[in-house]
Chains A and B, each alone.
Chain A
Amino acid sequence: QKEVEQNSGPLSVPEGAIASLNCTYSDRGSQSFFWYRQYSGKSPELIMSIYSNGDKEDGRFTAQLNKASQYVSLLIRDSQPSDSATYLCAVNMINNFNKFYFGSGTKLNVKP
């Protein structure tokens, strides 16, 4: 079982809709959770980080964390074609903040 799992997609949504990206993790010792956006051929860029149960909002982006269900999600409101990219979920552990585990990424297509 992989430490971090994501649906590879592609997830297609129309412009202006809400895109919902999901990530599950296997280790209950997971402490910090990160969403990165990666355009083709480029390096990942941080979109959101979350550490506590609940929701965290930043502009059009909302991260949701449920540690009991070992589930973290990213909602993108008013999706734009420029949001089309691969979204990577990353997790690190309470016993080693220097070790990160990445999901394989979900490809999002926002259609004009």
Chain B
Amino acid sequence: DGGITQSPKYLFRKEGQNVTLSCEQNLNHDAMYWYRQDPGQGLRLIYYSQIVNDFQKGDIAEGYSVSREKKESFPLTVTSAQKNPTAFYLCATRGNRTYERQYFGPGTRLTVT
């Protein structure tokens, strides 16, 4: 969706290395999210943040870390503690209206060998 950028589109890393995925938004949305998607599967929530300097663990937070120092940015670090990091990672945002939907970035495909 327009207004959310994720970089890079494809990322390759060696096993044992930490890697940081970027997510930037210019939608002025308070809430930001990171999801992981494996082939043929739905979206699983890693972390989400409802406001700057605050974030909550999702269902699969182990092996991941985040920060929310600025409203526009919500980077995700995949640490070496994550057992199976190869996946498609999606960043999303949500505005403040009651029935607001989520908006998704284009995604980053991470391959760890």
Binding site for A on B (CB under 8 A): 1, 31, 33, 35, 40-45, 48, 50, 88, 90, 94, 98-102, 104-107, 109
Contacts and interface: CB of A to CB of B under 8 A. Distances in A.
Contacts of B101: 32, 34, 46, 49
Contacts, number: 51
Query: What DSSP secondary structure best describes chain B's contact surface?
Result: strand
B76 to A, nearest CB: 15
Interface of A: 6, 8, 31-32, 34, 41-46, 49, 51, 88, 90, 97-100, 102-105, 107
B40 to A, nearest CB: 8
A49 B99 contact: yes
A84 B107 CA distance: 20
A103 B31 CA distance: 21
